[in-house]
Amino acid sequence: MRIAVFSTKSYDQEYFEKYNKEYNYSFSYYETALNPDTAKLSTDCDVVCVFVNDIVDENTIKILSKNGIKLIALRCAGYNNVDLDAAAKENIKVVRVPAYSPEAVAEHALALILTLNRKTHKAYNRVREGNFSLKNLIGFNLSNKTIGVIGTGKIGETFCKILNGFGCKIIAYDIAENENVTALGVEYMSLEKVFEQADVLSLHCPLNKHTKHLVNKASIETMKDGVMIINTSRGALIKTEDAIEGLKNKKIGYLGIDVYEQEENLFFEDLSEIIIEDDMILRLLSFPNVLITSHQAYFTKEAMDQITITTLENITAFDQNKALKNEVKQ
Ligand code: NAD
């Protein structure tokens, strides 16, 4: 099997090389993202391996099909960037890594909450410059605060377990209730009630046509004054311009995001010497109560091990004509 790996960073290659010793596949690594312009690089390959910001739309898929690609192997859980109908039409299978480390993402959501709240990032810089003042560093106790969780699947459940340890009241909304979450004492309620009651709102549902712009002008208006919103799921769950408005009129007290609606042109790259044309991210960066990380919630050693092993296992199952347990269908 020849595999074209798109959006490759040095760490992706390092992990594939580490585990490929047991599989012996032939990899072609491309730093560029997969899109209709770069799909031609898949010539002579059987599989393309892609990540969160590769554009696997109908145009891309048609070119992949012409090149003889039979499998799209996502090395991530979310698959909102793949046109599943187009893949099915071209008889290309799609596989993903449904669960690699819910702890990695849930723990990062907690890191965003604690950093925004206790302002450790500001304290670190202050103290390094000999400024030992506490002015404006005041936070709040998480204990007894109401945490609203949208989406209580693998990551949401792990997040609930962690926040339980802080003595929080946890309320949740999901289209399907998870009994492990109910067993933790989490109370399910309507989406509207979660928006109304949460001091901290954390998003853990997938991006799809039902969840796009879940956080928007209308829903923000129903939230508590000074609400903290955390998004480690997918950028477009939040309508960015409405969040900016909510920050400007002080309805939103804190915003912590690991994902951003237009992240594909920014995240994972060093743009420090480039003029950034995206005015919305620059506006977001100008707020003292906004914390942005560039899609790193998944990025732990344990998660990278699991992503790599599952991806190689997915490819092997396809290669050996076995059932694809991690197949994504429409
Ligand atoms: P999961 O499938 O285990 O759980 C998703 C949950 O969302 C399910 O319980 C599902 O019923 C619920 N859901 C679906 N539609 C909903 C809706 N309309 N409203 C409310 N809930 C809804 O997935 P997971 O492993 O917990 O991952 C959740 C998301 O986290 C993924 O879809 C992905 O986008 C994101 N993610 C981000 C990173 C990162 O590095 N930032 C890493 C992994 C996953």
pLDDT in tens, 282-302: 999 999 999 999 999 999 999
Q: Do 102-292 and 2-100+300-319 fall under one CATH topology?
A: yes
**Mean per-residue pLDDT, 146-172:** 98
ipTM of this complex > 0.85? yes
Residues designated catalytic: 234, 263, 295
Is residue 330's pLDDT more than 90? no
Domain residue extents for the chain = 2-100+300-319, 102-292
Task: Please state, in angstroms and rounded to a whole number, the distance separating the CA atoms of residues 18 and 152.
Answer: 33
Is residue 304's pLDDT more than 90? yes
pLDDT in tens, 218-257: 999 999 999 999 999 999 999 999 999 999 999 999 999 9
pLDDT of res. 26: 97
The minimum-distance atom of ligand 1 relative to the CA of 259 is 41
Q: Is the CB of 252 under 6 A from ligand 1?
A: no
The minimum-distance atom of ligand 1 relative to the CA of 297 is 40
**Mean per-residue pLDDT, 295-316:** 97
Nearest-5° Cα angle at 10, 279 to 290:
30
The minimum-distance atom of ligand 1 relative to the CA of 258 is 41
CA 93 from chain centre, in angstroms, equals: 23
Tell me how crowded residue 57 is: count the other CB atoms within 10 A of its CB: 15
* Contact yes or no for 311/49 (Cβ under 8 A): yes
Indicate the fold that domain 102-292 takes in CATH. Answer: Rossmann fold (3.40.50)
Is residue 68's pLDDT more than 90? yes
Q: Which of 171, 174, 208 to mutate to test the pocket of ligand 1 (most atoms within 8 A of CB)?
A: 174
**Per-residue buried b or exposed e for 215-249, using 16+ beta carbons within 10 Å of the residue's own CB:** bbeebbeebbeebbbbbbbbbbbbbbebbbebbee
What is the separation, in whole angstroms, between the first and last Cα of the chain?
26
Q: CATH second-level architecture of 2-100+300-319?
A: 3-Layer(aba) Sandwich (3.40)
